[in-house]
Amino acid sequence: MIRLAVLGHPVGHSRSPAMHNAALAALGLGSEWRYEAIKVAPGGFEARVRAMPGEGFAGANVTVPHKGAALALADELSGVAREVGAANTLIFAGGEIRAENTDADGLLNALPASPAGRRALVLGAGGAGRAAVWALVREGAEVEVWNRTELRSRHLCDELGGRPASDPAQGDYELIVNTTAVGLRGEDPFEQLPLDPAGFAPGQTVVDMVYGVEQTPLLAAAGKAGASVVDGIEVLVQQGALSLRLWTGCEAPVEVMRSAARA
Ligand code: ATR
């Protein structure tokens, strides 16, 4: 068996095993490859990863809270991983660990249209926020960044581009991307983020990286106002499709992955 895994803490809720195993089966690789979820506490991350090549792993996805640690331990970094400052994908080959970031292009692939020339607001300045800002700036969007801790968004913009926004005017943006953790534990996004449920408009695209069983309150309000919505599962599918191609060299069956992730 060639093994793949997602490493996170927590990781039990992850849709990645179902999504990737369905994709591997559809590619005819189901009897050779298997994808699993492995819960790894922060203190144990490096030792866990270093043992993986010897246990038959060809690669791994890395999620909260390990994306920075994944970058730090790699022998080789892709340009995107280095610039974003986080890795969500590891590839084990030739005795080396290579770090990639597919979150950035995954977000772009999840959007219904190119963000070039569009006014975009990114909420959050963690790893997911950095990938979003990097991708949108590279595509030529006019990016503003809001973060609860303003120092962090200022720092992010100094490094990656975009402008910090301390009091963003929700109606001014054609694209709004929530990369914060707000909503993961049932928090009210309209209490924690500078957004008003009645402030969305048709013509806007709203992305919420948070996903759960039901549509998030953020996307429900945006959809009700006539905005286009992109949920965290779609972003997960798109980053996963890029990771799968890096490991297997095969074009990913995106529709199969989407159905499995949503099942
Ligand atoms: P990730 O790598 O998934 O982005 P992270 O680095 O822990 O995770 O970042 C989490 C993001 O969610 C940060 O932007 C954080 O804001 P702070 O920098 O101020 O901590 C944001 N966040 C988490 N809980 C929040 C809350 N209740 N209200 C607003 N922002 C929140």
Q: What is the pLDDT of residue 90?
A: 98
Given a cut of 90, whether residue 223 has pLDDT beyond it is: yes
For the chain, what is the mean pLDDT?
A: 97
Q: What is the pLDDT of residue 119?
A: 98
Residues 183-204, buried b or exposed e (16+ Cβ, 10 A)? Answer: beeeeebbeebbbeeebbeeeb
68 and 130 in contact (C-beta within 8 Å)? Answer: no
Q: Could you give the percent of the chain with pLDDT greater than 70?
A: 100
Average pLDDT over residues 150-157: 98
Q: What is the pLDDT of residue 185?
A: 85
Average pLDDT over residues 49-68: 96
- Of 67, 98, 118, 258, which residue is the catalytic one? 67
Average pLDDT over residues 48-59: 98
Average pLDDT over residues 45-60: 98
- How far, in Å, CA of 177 to CA of 145, rounded? 10
Report the residue among 14, 147, 178, 180 best suited for mutation to probe ligand 1: largest number of ligand atoms under 8 A from its CB: 180
Q: Ligand 1 center to residue 128 CA distance, Å?
A: 9
Task: Report which protein residue has its CA nearest ligand 1's atom 23.
Answer: 181
Average pLDDT over residues 130-150: 98
Q: Spell out the long-range contacts of 162-170 with Cβ–Cβ below 8 A and sequence spacing 24 or more.
A: 162/122, 162/133, 162/136, 162/137, 165/121, 167/194, 168/121, 168/144, 168/194, 170/121, 170/194, 170/195, 170/196, 170/199, 170/200
SS3 assignment, position 62:
strand
Average pLDDT over residues 118-136: 97
Res. 213 pLDDT band, cuts 50 70 90: confident
pTM metric for this prediction: 0.96
Report the residue among 148, 151, 160, 210 best suited for mutation to probe ligand 1: largest number of ligand atoms under 8 A from its CB: 148
Residue ranges around ligand 1 (CB below 6 Å): 64, 67, 124-129, 147-149, 152, 179-182, 187, 192
Question: Residues 6 or more apart from 147 whose CB is under 8 A from it?
Answer: 123, 124, 125, 129, 153, 156, 164, 180
101 and 78 in contact (C-beta within 8 Å)? Answer: yes
What is the number of the ligand 1 atom nearest to the C-alpha of 124? 14
58 and 3 in contact (C-beta within 8 Å)? Answer: yes
User: What is the Cα 15 distance to its own chain's centre?
Assistant: 13
Q: Is 67 marked active-site?
A: yes
HEC-encoded secondary structure of 233-249? HHHHHHHHHHHHHHHHC
Given a cut of 90, whether residue 69 has pLDDT beyond it is: yes
| Omega within 30 of 0 (cis) for the link into 65 | yes
Average pLDDT over residues 226-241: 98
Residue whose structure tokens are 């720092």: 155
Given a cut of 90, whether residue 244 has pLDDT beyond it is: yes
Q: Ligand 1 center to residue 129 CA distance, Å?
A: 9
SS3 assignment, position 124:
coil
Q: What is the pLDDT of residue 212?
A: 84
Q: What is the pLDDT of residue 63?
A: 94
Q: What is the pLDDT of residue 121?
A: 99
Res. 184 pLDDT band, cuts 50 70 90: confident
Average pLDDT over residues 143-156: 98
Phi-psi region of 99 (alpha: psi -120 to 50; beta: other; left: phi over 0): beta
Average pLDDT over residues 167-193: 96
Task: Report which protein residue has its CA nearest ligand 1's atom 8.
Answer: 126
* Residue 63 to residues 40, 66, 105, Cα–Cα distance (Å): 10, 6, 16
Average pLDDT over residues 3-11: 96
Q: What is the pLDDT of residue 92?
A: 98
Average pLDDT over residues 136-148: 98
Tokens of 2: 């060639």
What is the number of the ligand 1 atom nearest to the C-alpha of 67? 2
Given a cut of 90, whether residue 72 has pLDDT beyond it is: yes
